[in-house]
Structure 1
């Protein structure tokens, strides 16, 4: 791509005067076509840039050109590029403070923050620091500086408040915190968004991303009703032209639904290539412990890589519940011998199951409300309720 530095800087100046935040953002984006222009690869661009642009724009553009120098030469230096991009974000903070009563500049902030996160991830992958996650955590500190400026804006009009930029930054921070496994840092961000008067005014794509991450956090916190609510919103509102994103949401939504007793249909699992879950559904409905364990073993890598292995393990209690319900239906009595449950467990694959372990499983099912009754240790029996001793899992089984 050809074009002089002066033409590039003049174009940015025109966009700045026109208050076109999206075009200015494109000119400092690391994914725009201008990055192929070798005339822009400058290690020390300040003197030239200062002749065309004034503060705070000159610092932002100078930093961007330095990043191009470090990234686009034959010897790519991701570490220096990341450090320079950090300076770029710091300059954007100055820009936000300079344009006190305007928010047309928010796309510029979105772009430089996104590029900073991507560069930080690249540095982590290349192993430029001895402590994993440290670069990403420092990147998050830079993003938080932008977030604080936006959150502190007191204007209540959607036309000029910078608070409309909060959700975009929160989503960037979520991506960092999930990657470095510091989910506790998400909590104050969630509170900030939930209490915002603009929470329904944020763009739908940003709301979808937000609900996806909050749903995942709720899942890890074992708040499955909340996880279901947020992940369902994300899945239902994610456009069909993004099947990869819908599949990603479904990978977390399906086990949450299953834990709540809703079994997914084979058609939707097939559509999004997650039939591993259908094999689990079959084992759950049959109360077949052996088959359940085999499915987990077969798809172990998939469940581990998706970060849902422990969640899938929790489904085993539903397998036990359905198995014990079959014992109840066969015996047709309120007082069930614990040894019958032990024998059923041994029959479906738990060959080494002791009577003590059987008691423990039954006690947990009672505690979780999956069985209504109590254990009579004196008589080694489970005494179940006359009415609905095995409450339906939300009507699914």
Structure 2
């Protein structure tokens, strides 16, 4: 057992650490890790127990972390690797509050990996960081796989290096590494129910997964992941809810079921999406293209420009065809020329009759419109209910 002075130091440290975790103060966490760490302190704490905590195990983590944060950029990955080994293999991980420490370690390494202004060196550091995160996630996965009934903090820590890996992949456009990360997560979720993990970590993972699905044009899967993130994110985190809704709105625009105007207003997104949704819903190409160019820089920053410009066009042609059908008293037969006139009137640039025919073929092939084309007569023959909801087509 410790001397009174060491016990007092440890008690004060634990109080500071608990406060830092409660306040989510990364600076205070780092200070608490290094406040009393020295060779003498580590030796005094090693192989000791206090208040049911394996102090010796934590002393190893704190000692390695102290060396890591004082290392230079060239050796930080080797130093961090030692922290990973000390952190992941010690029984101190059974303490839930150590998850916050893991989050701090991953956050630190991510920031260091991305801070170098030399692109070549930055990429090298970040790839090394991804390898370390993969190693850390693998350690947790092996623990879960060994005994999924005792998931403990090792299992609850699993998603932390996972979503930091996503962050680096997106920052450096290393998205080809993401499928390997997802594969490992899927294996874990086959062993353990998602409710076993902290909801915040599961929400964050689904946010990044949804963004990846959206970039890959897997819209239904993107909708599913982003919806999980949206539902799981508490209302008292409005900034995070808004970020999720931003990508969910783009996804659902393509699927034909955009959020309500009121919901967009609640999160200050109506000014960005409201008029775009209105133009897309009626197939007003001229207005939509004008609005898109006005917001080009903003949409490109969030990787949404290509999706909003190209993937939404087919949906807009479908909406325009539906409005044409309604304007013609829901006639069962519409000529290619009638549809072409509607497209030109709506502002479709450099549009020919052949283009109109190709669009109609596409709408039928994709299931956005039910009917068939009579090319000899230059007409499309529609079924009794020719325009199913778009989101049903994706199912």
Q: TM-score, normalised by structure 2?
A: 0.80
Tell me the SS of whatever aligns to 1:241: coil
Taking the aligned partners of 2:319 and 2:223, their CA distance within structure 1 comes to: 22
Structure 1, unpaired ranges of 5+: 1-6, 71-76
State the Cα deviation string for residues 68-102 of structure 1 (Å, max 9, x = none): 546xxxxxx6x25xx33651342332343243994
Q: 1:18-167 counterparts in 2 under 5 A?
A: 31-32=27-28, 35=31, 47-48=39-40, 50-54=42-46, 57-58=58-59, 60-69=61-70, 79=73, 83-84=75-76, 86-99=78-91, 102=94, 105-123=98-116, 127-130=117-120, 132-153=122-143, 154-158=146-150, 160=152, 162-167=154-159
Question: Are the counterparts in 2 of residues 218 and 226 from structure 1 also a CA contact under 8 Å?
Answer: yes
- Report the counterpart of residue 231 of structure 1 in structure 2: 226
Report how far residue 50 of structure 1 moved.
5.0
Find 1:324's aligned residue among 321, 325, 330.
321
State the Cα deviation string for residues 323-376 of structure 1 (Å, max 9, x = none): 122322334533322122112211121242112222222222112211112222
Q: 1:303-342 counterparts in 2 under 5 A?
A: 303-313=299-309, 314-332=311-329, 333-342=331-340
Report how far residue 149 of structure 1 moved.
1.5
- Report the counterpart of residue 73 of structure 1 in structure 2: none
Taking the aligned partners of 2:206 and 2:199, their CA distance within structure 1 comes to: 10
Question: Are the counterparts in 2 of residues 49 and 61 from structure 1 also a CA contact under 8 Å?
Answer: no
Higher mean alpha-carbon deviation, 293-302 vs 245-254, is at 293-302
- Report the counterpart of residue 387 of structure 2 in structure 1: 390
Taking the aligned partners of 1:251 and 1:101, their CA distance within structure 2 comes to: 36
Please state if 1:192 is matched with 2:217: no
Q: Relative to total residues, which structure has the larger helix share, 1 or 2?
A: 2
Taking the aligned partners of 2:32 and 2:157, their CA distance within structure 1 comes to: 29
In 2 relative to 1, CA 342–204 (structure 1 residues): closer, same or farther, beyond 3 Å? same
In 2 relative to 1, CA 369–162 (structure 1 residues): closer, same or farther, beyond 3 Å? same
In 2 relative to 1, CA 98–69 (structure 1 residues): closer, same or farther, beyond 3 Å? closer
Question: Are the counterparts in 2 of residues 93 and 145 from structure 1 also a CA contact under 8 Å?
Answer: no
Q: TM-score, normalised by structure 1?
A: 0.80
In 2 relative to 1, CA 12–86 (structure 1 residues): closer, same or farther, beyond 3 Å? farther
- Report the counterpart of residue 4 of structure 1 in structure 2: none
Please state if 1:214 is matched with 2:212: no
Structure 2, unpaired ranges of 5+: 47-55
Please state if 1:299 is matched with 2:291: no
Find 1:262's aligned residue among 257, 260, 264.
257
Question: Are the counterparts in 2 of residues 214 and 230 from structure 1 also a CA contact under 8 Å?
Answer: yes
Root-mean-square deviation (CA), in Å?
A: 3.5
Question: Are the counterparts in 1 of residues 148 and 191 from structure 2 also a CA contact under 8 Å?
Answer: no
